[in-house]
Homo-oligomer: A and B are copies of this chain.
């Protein structure tokens, strides 16, 4: 249940997740790892490596999108706060893809969330500690994506 997204084909190898919505300059992907419910990747729709080179209208579009995403995920799942990060680390390891500018959007929860038959928890709330992906079906991923999309 993905969206139509011509630019996404260029990003196929990046494994950013399932395309959820797009704006003029950005694509939001539901991230592969949903251990923190509604974690997304927000990728630029052109080849660009660093934040320094972002155009004014790309920033404006991003800022508006950030507001919509925070509001939607707050409403959908009562997220407590949001971590935003532009890291780009792994691209600089050997044998990796060309850097492609993207943001990580990680909702954080001070309470468990029941959704689609699963309990999503945030045991490291208050800290930044990576967790392995939560084992959920494609159907559940679609339900998460639809829930966010309807509120965006």
Contact with B along A1-43 (1 / 0, CB 8 A): 0000000000000000000000000000000000000000000
CB distance from A41 to the nearest CB of B (A): 14
A71 close to chain B: CB less than 8 A: yes
Contact indicator B89/A126 (Cβ below 8 Å):
yes
- Which residue on B lies nearest to A49, using beta carbons? B81
The segment out of A62-70, A112-120, A140-148 that lies at the interface is A62-70
* Chain B hits for A63, CB < 8 A: 54, 59
Contact indicator A82/B50 (Cβ below 8 Å):
yes
- Which residue on B lies nearest to A96, using beta carbons? B126
Contact indicator A80/B66 (Cβ below 8 Å):
no
Contact indicator A52/B81 (Cβ below 8 Å):
no
Contact indicator A83/B85 (Cβ below 8 Å):
yes
Contact indicator A88/B92 (Cβ below 8 Å):
no
Contact indicator A83/B92 (Cβ below 8 Å):
no
* Chain B hits for A84, CB < 8 A: 51, 85-87
